Every structure is written in C-alpha cells, then in structure tokens.
C-alpha cells in the first residue's frame, strides 16, 4: 500500500519525524521520482520556538501546530503516517511501528528530534517537567496556574510562599524565555485577579550551573539579559548546580528552595532512534552522521536535525538549533531528489548561521548576528517579526499576531486554562 | 478566610458553578453588600454553544473559555475558588469541597449545570461520548481525526468503512450542529489530505428517536434542516431509537451500524448537586425551585440554570437553554443585592424568549423568533453575529472572527490536533 514503486526507477523514501528537518526533506522530495512516507508520532508539525508561550498561557496549542498532512498536501507523492517507530531493520530495509505495521524503504531518513535529558537523574522528570511537546506545555501551564489557585486558597504562609515560587533550571535561550514569560505572567497578567494573594510577589527563579547565562551568546548580551531579567523581578543564580529535586523543593548550591513547580530547561538528548537503528551515537544519543548526512555502515540511511551529530566545516559538531535542522532538511531533500533522478551524489552540507535571538520580555531581547549584536527594542521587534514570518501558514500568523498585539496592549493572555489530564472528562462543572 | 463579613450587615454568598447562570449572579452582586465566593471545578467559564466547533477542529479550547477570575476581576467583593462541591450542610450553612476545605455561607446559590444522560445505559458513555466540557471536545476531536488516520493506514475495506462512519445520536440543535460540522470537515477540510482514502466518502449519520429533527422548532424549519443536512451528505434516520452501543457498532432501528465513533447528543441530566443538597428533584435530577428561584424547605438557598427546574408563567418548566440560565442569573444577582441592602423580596422571574437559532453549515441555519422564522443565509449570518457578540471579551471575538473568516474562504480548520490524553508527554516525536 505504502510507496509501491510504480516504475522501477522510483524509490521508496521513509522519513521519520515531521519536525523542522523531516518536513523539509519531504517537501524537497515533493514532485520527485520518490514515493515518500512521512511518519510522526503526532499528526502535527510543532513550531517549538514558541512552545514556551503555550506553557505560559499566551498562545493556544493549535496556534503553533500545523497538521503534517496540510504541509504536504500539494505533493501527491508524499504520504503521511501517524505512528511511533519501534524497530528499524537495515538488513530487510524496513521499519516497524508500535502497532505492528511495517513499512519498507529504499532510502531511510531519520529526523526524530530530541527530548530532555536529566543527566542520570530520571527521577527528577516527574517533579521538573521539560518543555518539548504540546503535552508538556499544557501540563506546565496547568501546574503554573494551579499553583496560584492553591496559594489563594491556602491559610499557611509557608505553603503560600512555596506555591508561589517557580524555579526554571537552565539559563540557555529556552530557560531565559520561559522565566521571563513566567515573571510577566505573575507581575502583570494575573496581578489583579486574586483576592488572598498578590501574584506580583511570586518568586521567579532561574538557576544556571555555568558562570553565565546564554553561554552561546556574546558576554555583553548575556550581561544585558541578566540585568533585564532582574528588572522583571527574576532571581538569577549562576554557578548554581542542581543537586536534588523532589515534589517539595529544589536543592541547588547547598540550599533547599521550596517550590511547587520546577521546570527543566537544562539539557537534551536525542530521540532513541539511534539506539533503535544500532548506529554509532555520541553521549547525547545522537547518531554520528557524515557531512553529507549519511550514516556510515548503513546503505541509504541518513540522519539529521537534533537526532544527529553532524560536524561543520570547522570540524566541531553543529548546534542543536531549528535553523540547522531546517537547512539540513532543505539540503537533503534536494540532494536525494537529484540522486534518485541522476544518481549524482551531493557535496557536503554547509550550515549558514542566520544568527540567534532570545526574547526576555516586552522591549527586551538579544540578537547575535555575524553582522551585528542587537539588544532591547530593536532585537525584540526583530524577534517578533522573524517568528511570525517563520510560522507555517497565514492563519497561524494572523492568530499569533492578534494575540501578541492584544497582549501588548492589555497584558492579558488568552489561554489561561487549567487542564487536569488525569481526570479526563467528568461531568461538567461542579 | 473566605467571606468573613466585615460588618454585621454584610452577607456571605456562595455561588456554585461559573456557567451562564453563576457568572451573572456573581456579577450582579459585584459592588453589593455581599462577600461572594464563586466556586467552579474549572478555572474558566465555558461558552458551550460553540463547543461543537472545538470538537470538530474549527476552534481552539481557549477561544471559547475565559478565566473566571478575569470575568469578575473588577469586583473586589467577589472571590473565585477552584474546587468541586461534595457536600452541602444546610443545617450548618456550609459547603465542603473535594479537598476537604469548607466554606460557610449566609446565602447559597446552586448553578451547577447539567451533563449527559444515557437513560440508564451508562455503559454507552465509554463508546459514545457526550459534549459538555473542553475535555469532551478534545477527546471527540482526537477520535474523529484519528479515525481518518487509521482508515488511511488500513488495508481492510470493511475496517476502512467502519473507521469512516460517524454516528451522531440525537437530532436536537446540538446534534444537528455537530453532524453538519463533521460532514463539512470530511467533505471539504480533509478532502485533499489523504492518499489512501477519500474523506469525502465518509458516512456521516444522524439518528433521532422522534419523528422529526429539532422538535422545539416549527415544522417548516425542521424540514429545511433535514433537506440541508442531506445536501451536505448526512444520512438522517428518524423514528430510529438506539438499542445498543459497543466499541464497534451502534444498533438502532434493528440495524447494526459499524462505526468507530458515535457521539451522544440525546439527553442531559442535572449535576448531582440536587442529590448532594437533598432537595426534591425531578426525574432529570433538577432541583425543583420556586418561581423566585428559591428552594422550598431550605433557608436562603437558590437554584437556577440547568440544575434547576423552574416553571414559567404558563406553569410549564422552562427549557434548559443558555438564555434561560443567563436571564435567571441576572435576575437573581439583582434580587439578592436588593434583598441584602433593603430586605425587600423580589417578584417572580420572568423569562423573555430571545428566540432560537441552530446552524447546519455554511449559508444554512434556522432561526425561530416570535416575530419571524428565518432560514438559509439570513439565519446563518444572524447566528454568526449573535454568537460573536455573546462571546465574553474582545480578544475572543477577534480570534473567533479571524478563524471563521479564514474557514469561510479556505474551508481550512486551524485546530486539527490529535491529543492522546492517556500517554501524556513522552519523548518528543517518534
């Protein structure tokens, strides 16, 4: 059924993962002499750079998720399949899904992305969720809002204080954006909504094990970021490694910080597809791929995006960024289409650094380009324009723009829903 | 902590339920000599008339849900509490929440709404979910979209047929709106997105036990509705009572209809608050309230909205409509404010019928007013304008308008997310 070659020269290409990398590969092969099957665990492509805004009640999940089918609907040679790959048999050239279905391939593209890594402390995952999926974001949003609700109902000052302490672990771009957004939620959005607590008095804390925030940015921008976060009321602790996390506190730098919600933004590891394939992986579980994204020792197997470790021209591994994944996807889509048509092999992938941006709060962001370093309002405007532009689809752009403008004017956020995923359903309101 | 009277003449009012009725009571008491505590199981007020659009991927949950706190933030004398009422002690004048917290009252307002009723067949609930909450809507949306995904992956024609058969049970306004929206989703939105199935060939069926659809509308409008549904490709079966529902089929009118998704829109029962109070209830569990919404035998206890059976001027029970709940809430808020201030008791509640509207599809709706019966485009435009107007908050109005305009132009729907609430989280994409 899937990818039955119509003529002998057609190839079955299976692409695992519909993130930035996988989508671009499938699109690049659209209209080519390949029968493409794009497989993902979810039916949507997620715009992860704005996921923290879902976690902080500013956007709805659907605003940053586009159906995979919609993104490839114009390519009759691209099929979409919902499923989780549990087995890759390179000998038989077929993959197997969790439901037992098996799909043959001529060419396999692995773009399974990454998830959080707790550096050997997997028990922390329960208390300090990471932020990689829509489910994660919904869960964090609910816990965040529920903490204020519980603090409002509590008569115990210590419990109130604990419930209104939020700890973000990891001072990279994700941690900075998340902690800034939580601070604005508490200081502005919720400020007038409670009678028995003052949400603006919440403790919002950022812990970073290294001596500086934003280690990949120039030191000047990192210092600016720290000052801006402090101005937003964020407590920033550097050189502060986390020693333990429980349901009640985070222990870091020798101190126990009572908190009801810690969020993990400190590290990632690759999806288990490298292990499933059996290929050589680095310590983060990333498949060691060649500079043309092929995987040594496997015929017609490619790996790219966050699941792959690919070296740049300087011999250092490329960073795990959306722009790397996207560029690799565009490169590989084109390269495979050409290879299938003419048999020609491609020259190595070259990453073009488009620069990095991180947003802190309103009128506060940092942008690091090869041609300029920006901060403050110019960086913030640039961040907003670039992210609207990068969103897939005009409808998403419109909806996110409306919500951002609304929030700018009113400080209000439109998606303040507490969802208790455990009780699923029930009989309406109380 | 809650509602401690500051002066002897202040009264503690506890309002259970933040639906159309409860919100209006709380607002009506805003600024009065009452300390109001508004309690709901959810932190948001839900605009139920558009819930079917969330269930059919047209809107996001947050578009029709407004934080309760936001709706009453301008009234310092109104507190909001998140919780489920499990006990009402009329003797002690206090209610107890599921978490054990107890709240005293001088005046108790019960506005707990309704949920689905399966007429003694509670086992059907699992296979034919109803549509009353955001969780219900998300669940139905996921099952609906997942059915198409599974049909696309299946090699078995019988399984494909079953997976692409959707049965809505109940031909009232909710059932009509839902089935029309499902038909449009299959025929238009998804039409080009699959490679191995034709979504437009899905069987979309409406079952009604009575001889006619929309029994509360004039027969002419009901006949128009049926014709329009058939034009949309909906199979309408009247005089067709459901006999059994399993995971694999719906049995109705002596026939087994294989289906992967049946949706229950056939009946409601009141929230269990009547039972919890111990008051006299009707066969749907509704508290029998007097025409001033007081409950006989209980001092200072009131019931209104879908949880109450209140008789109109003609002696017949008022229908379970949003407009009844809202008007009752406005009436009771005013009446209680006056009673607390002056001791004056109010004259009976009078329902003003604002008319009924049900939408079938684009350019197709029916509207029944005392002054006119409308159908087609005029009714459809009126429906849209009225529902935008009734939505709480300018941001929701803007976002829903944008999505409706987008959908009108493109047939596309913006919230096509499959959420598997059972696996909660996980490790990114496959």
Q: Which residues of A touch B152 (CB under 8 A)?
A: 81
| Lowest-confidence region among A90-104, A315-329, B28-42, B380-394 | B380-394
CA distance B236 to chain A (A): 28
Judge contact between A65 and A134, C-beta under 8 A: yes
Residue A430: pLDDT above 90?
no
Smallest Cβ–Cβ distance between A81 and the set B115, B153, B423 belongs to B153
What is the predicted pLDDT for the residue at B414?
86
Which residues from A are below 8 Å from B84, CB to CB? 430
Q: What is the pTM of this model?
A: 0.92
A421 interaction partners in chain B (CB closer than 8 Å): 421, 424
**Domain residue spans of chain A:** 11-116+268-342, 122-266
A contacts of B422 (beta carbons < 8 Å): 424
Q: How far is B52 from chain A (nearest CA, A)?
A: 15
Confidence of residue A9 (pLDDT cuts 50, 70, 90): confident
Which of these is catalytic: A8, A66, A92, A177? A177
Q: Which long-range contacts (CB under 8 A, 24 or more apart) does B116-124 make?
A: B116/B264, B116/B267, B116/B268, B116/B269, B117/B267, B117/B268, B117/B269, B117/B284, B118/B264, B118/B267, B119/B266, B119/B267, B121/B245, B124/B242, B124/B245, B124/B264
Among chain A residues, CA nearest to B117 = A427
Asked whether the beta carbons of residue B271 and residue A129 sit closer than 8 angstroms, the reply is: no
Residue among B73, B115, B415 whose CB faces A193 most closely: B73
Given a contact cutoff of 8 angstroms between Cβ atoms, the answer to whether A300 and A339 are in contact is no
Q: Which of A4-13, A49-58, A388-397, A410-419 has the lowest mean pLDDT?
A: A4-13
How far, CA to CA in Å, does A58 sit from each of A182, A392, B188?
10, 18, 30
Contacts of A18 in chain B (CB under 8 A): 429
In this predicted structure, what is the pLDDT of residue A307?
98
**Which of A147, A124, A143 is closest to A252 using CA atoms?**
A124
ipTM given for this complex: 0.90
pLDDT above 70 coverage of chain B, percent: 96
CB-based contact A112 B149, cutoff 8 Å = no
How far apart are alpha carbons A164 and A198 in whole angstroms? 10
Q: Strand, helix or coil at A137?
A: helix
Q: Express each pLDDT in B235-282 by its tens digit.
A: 999 999 999 999 999 999 999 999 999 999 998 999 999 999 999 999
CB contact under 8 A, A112 and B195: no
The CATH number of the domain covering residues in A11-116+268-342: 3.50.50.60
Q: Is the pLDDT of residue B429 over 50?
A: no
Task: Please determine whether the domains at B11-116+268-342 and B122-266 fall in the same fold group of CATH.
Answer: yes
- Mutation pick from A6, A263, A427 vs chain B, by most beta carbons of B within 10 Å, is A427
Angle at B119 between CA B114 and CA B122, to 5 degrees: 85
Asked if the model's pLDDT at residue A426 lies above 50, the reply is: no
Distance separating alpha carbons of residues A67 and A396, to the nearest angstrom: 12
User: Per-residue pLDDT averaged across B170-192, rounded?
Assistant: 96
B280 CB-contact burial (10 Å; exposed 0-12 / middle 13-18 / buried 19+): middle
Q: Residue B8: what pLDDT?
A: 55
Say what the pLDDT of residue B422 is: 40
Across the range B218-231, mean pLDDT stands at 97
Whether residue B218 is predicted with pLDDT greater than 80 in this model: the reply is: yes
Q: Nearest 5°: CA angle at A420, between A414 and A426?
A: 110
- Tokens, residue A24: 């671009």
CATH of B122-266, one of 3.50.50.100, 2.40.128.20, 3.40.50.720, 3.30.365.10: 3.50.50.100
Considering only CB atoms, which chain B residues are within 8 Å of A16? 430
User: Min CA distance, B74 vs chain A (Å)?
Assistant: 8
The single residue listed with the structure tokens 């994700």 is A174
Q: What is the mean pLDDT of chain A?
A: 93
Nearest to A149 among B82, B135, B395 (CB): B82
Give how far A371 is from chain B: nearest CA, Å.
Answer: 34
CA distance B310 to A103: 61
pLDDT in tens, B70-85: 999 999 999 999 999 9
Q: Please provide the average confidence, as pLDDT, over all residues in chain B.
A: 93
Across the interface, whether the CB atoms of A115 and B428 are under 8 A apart is answered yes
Q: Which of the two residues, B189 and A8, has the higher pLDDT score?
A: B189
Beta-carbon separation of A425 and B135 below 8 A: yes
The pair of structure tokens assigned to B167 is 């049965």
Chain B residue closest in CA terms to A276: B430
Is A184 in the active site? Answer: no
Closest by Cβ to B134, choosing from A79, A195, A417? A417
Residue B247: C-alpha distances to residues A114, B140, B244, B250 (Å): 36, 14, 10, 8
Q: What is the pLDDT of residue B421?
A: 52
- Cβ–Cβ gap A421/B426 under 8 Å: no
B131-162 per-position pLDDT tens digit: 999 999 999 999 999 999 999 999 999 999 99
Residues in chain A with CB shorter than 8 Å from the CB of B40 are 429-430
Q: Answer whether A271 sits within 8 Å of B67, measured CB to CB.
A: no
Are A41 and B430 inside 8 Å of each other by CB?
yes
pLDDT tens figures, B321-346: 999 999 999 999 999 999 999 999 88
Nearest C-alpha in A relative to B126:
A425
CB pairs under 8 A between A and B: 219
């Amino acid at each position: 059924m899937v990818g039955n070659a119509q003529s002998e020269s057609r190839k079955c290409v299976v692409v695992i993962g519909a993130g930035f990398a996988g989508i671009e590969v499938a699109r690049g092969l659209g209209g080519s002499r390949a029968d493409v099957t794009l497989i993902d665990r979810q039916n949507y492509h997620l715009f992860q750079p704005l996921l923290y805004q879902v976690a902080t009640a500013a956007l709805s999940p659907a605003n940053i998720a586009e159906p995979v089918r919609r993104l490839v609907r114009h390519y009759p040679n691209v099929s979409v399949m919902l499923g989780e790959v549990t087995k890759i048999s390179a000998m038989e050239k077929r993959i197997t899904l969790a439901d037992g279905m098996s799909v043959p391939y001529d060419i396999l593209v692995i773009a399974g992305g990454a998830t959080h890594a707790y550096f050997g402390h997997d028990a922390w995952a329960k208390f300090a969720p990471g932020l990689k999926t829509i489910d994660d974001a919904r869960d964090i949003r609910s816990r965040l809002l529920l903490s204020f609700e519980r603090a409002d109902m509590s008569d115990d000052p210590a419990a109130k204080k604990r419930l209104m302490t939020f700890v973000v672990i990891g001072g990279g771009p994700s941690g900075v954006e998340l902690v800034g957004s939580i601070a604005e939620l508490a200081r502005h959005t919720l400020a007038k909504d409670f009678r028995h607590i003052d949400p603006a008095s919440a403790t919002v804390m950022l812990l970073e094990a290294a001596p500086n925030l934003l280690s990949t940015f120039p030191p000047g921008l990192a210092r600016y970021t720290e000052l801006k976060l402090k101005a937003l009321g964020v407590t920033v602790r550097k050189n502060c490694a986390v020693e333990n996390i429980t349901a009640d506190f985070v222990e870091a730098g020798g101190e126990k910080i009572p908190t009801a919600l810690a969020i993990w933004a400190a590290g990632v590891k690759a999806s288990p597809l490298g292990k499933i394939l059996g290929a050589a992986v680095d310590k983060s579980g990333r498949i060691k791929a060649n500079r043309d994204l092929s995987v040594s020792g496997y015929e017609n197997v490619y790996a790219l995006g966050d699941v792959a470790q690919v070296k740049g021209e300087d011999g250092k591994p490329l960073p795990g960024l959306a722009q790397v994944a996207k560029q690799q996807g565009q490169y590989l889509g084109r390269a495979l289409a050409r290879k299938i048509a003419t048999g020609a092999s491609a020259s190595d992938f070259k990453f073009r650094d488009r620069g990095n941006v991180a947003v802190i709060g309103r009128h506060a962001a940092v942008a690091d380009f090869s041609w300029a370093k920006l901060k403050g309002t110019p960086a913030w405007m640039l961040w907003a324009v670039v992210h609207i532009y990068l969103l897939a689809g005009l409808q998403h752009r419109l909806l996110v723009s409306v919500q951002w403008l609304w929030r700018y004017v009113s400080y209000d956020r439109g998606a303040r829903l507490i969802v208790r995923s455990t009780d699923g359903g029930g009989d309406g309101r109380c």
